[in-house]
Structure 1
Amino acid sequence: VRELTQLEQQAWGMCLRAAALRFWLSRLVTQQHQAEVMAQDPMTALVTTQKDPMEYFLKLVRHRETQY
């Protein structure tokens, strides 16, 4: 495995923040629209696992505070 270049190391924190933001927003959307999904297609709602968005919000905050 090769070492990261300096440019890659500088971008790493931004990549982690972007990933945490993506998952946080995805979970928020699922949480907000769960009732709509249930009304439209109850079977889809039954197989959809709703996860806690705070997990990735806290990761986003931690990545914002950490220097990489």
Structure 2
Amino acid sequence: MQDYNTIIGSIQMRLNNCPTRSVMDRYNIGSGTLNLIMSRYKASGIPIEELRMMPPKDVEELFYP
């Protein structure tokens, strides 16, 4: 399970077209974790702006039920 900052930060970096390796290095996560976060983000259909307004615990539970 990843924390709120890792989830939001990873999504934001990828939306800003940062290389996958940069995201992985910054948050110390593997490619599988990053792919999982991004696939769950896309499946949720919730815009990043709305995710930022949610309580951290709710975001974590959304990505890691």
Does the TM-score normalized on the shorter chain lie above 0.5? no
TM bracket, shorter-chain basis: 0.3 to 0.5
Bigger-Rg structure (1/2): 1
* TM-score when normalising by structure 2: 0.34
* TM-score when normalising by structure 1: 0.33
